[in-house]
């Protein structure tokens, strides 16, 4: 039975759609303007500041939609593996309660004891870490699986998952 740690933002909860919807509505910035780049690299200082303030609101996290096929695949994975949600909530302290409430709302089947709020994910003891940021694989003792996202399109990583269907088919 494999132990699988899965990031929340951009992997389970569709933070990209939430951010892109807000950027499109507020600044007319479209996804085609952002491939392979982080928001801070393409936004003006004022736009990035406004985006950072938006991320500090609990409302932002609570209102995110699940990534397509994430809920069904998580249910299936739990049948054969130890699955943990690992989110770096330390970077946005106002997100703790909203993230927890989001999980309870969208993943009521998920055991509370398998939710990990952390900063440095190298502390996670798992066979696999599914994450959208390569830096979270640094010093991680298991195998890092990069979940494709707009900001990592240009990153090179040997194990890339393009969506939840890839996760469901992966041989853990």
Residue 41 annotated in active site: no
- CA distance linking residue 109 with residue 166, whole number of Å: 22
CA separation, residue 60 to residues 105, 131, 172 (Å): 15, 20, 33
Could you confirm whether 9 is annotated as catalytic? Answer: yes
Would you put residue 101 in left (φ > 0), alpha (ψ -120 to 50) or beta? alpha
Given the residues 7, 14, 131, 132, the one annotated as active site: 7
CA distance 60 to 75: 25
List residues with catalytic annotation: 7, 9
């Amino acid at each position: 039975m494999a132990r699988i740690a899965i990031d929340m933002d951009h992997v389970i909860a569709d933070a990209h759609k939430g951010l892109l919807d807000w950027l499109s509505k507020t600044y007319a910035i479209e996804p085609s303007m952002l491939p392979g780049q982080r928001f801070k690299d393409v936004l003006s200082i004022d736009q990035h500041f406004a985006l950072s303030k938006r991320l500090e609101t609990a409302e932002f996290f609570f209102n995110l939609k699940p990534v397509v096929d994430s809920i069904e695949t998580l249910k299936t994975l739990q049948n054969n593996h130890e699955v943990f949600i690992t989110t770096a909530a330390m970077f946005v302290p106002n997100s703790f309660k909203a993230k927890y409430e989001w999980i309870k709302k969208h993943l009521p089947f998920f055991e509370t004891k398998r939710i990990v709020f952390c900063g440095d994910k190298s502390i996670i003891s798992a066979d696999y870490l599914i994450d959208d940021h390569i830096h979270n694989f640094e010093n991680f003792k298991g195998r890092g699986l990069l979940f494709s996202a707009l900001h990592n399109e240009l990153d090179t990583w040997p194990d890339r998952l393009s969506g939840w269907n890839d996760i469901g088919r992966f041989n853990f």
